[in-house]
Amino acid sequence: MIWIAAVAAAASVMAGQGMATVQCRVAAGQSLRDCVVLSETPQGANVGAFALKLAKGFHPQPGDRRIRDGKIVIKMKFKLP
């Protein structure tokens, strides 16, 4: 399923790259919940949707400096070879 999202995002990114920022709530066991896209570039390229799928598998380390008030902001950059 992630592969399909990756292909869709890659096919729609005109310049060969994209960026997305997501915010998630850090739950017990350092798993992420309630993730939302804060921004994506280029707009409408589904880069944000792909970033949300990747965020589900992300587990920040305890004490990660990006965690504030039980939430984490993750910036992702995608570049086609």
- Work out the pLDDT band at 1, boundaries 50, 70, 90: very low
pLDDT for 10 beyond 60: no
Do you find a cis peptide bond into 42, omega within 30 degrees of 0?
yes
Per-residue model confidence (pLDDT) at position 79:
84
Q: How many CB atoms lie within 10 A of CB 32?
A: 21
- Specify the CATH number of the domain 2-79: 3.30.2420
Residue carrying the six token digits 């939302």: 36
User: How does pLDDT run across 21-80, given as a tens digit for each residue?
Assistant: 999 999 887 889 999 999 999 988 889 999 999 998 899 998 899 999 999 999 999 886
Per-residue model confidence (pLDDT) at position 29:
79
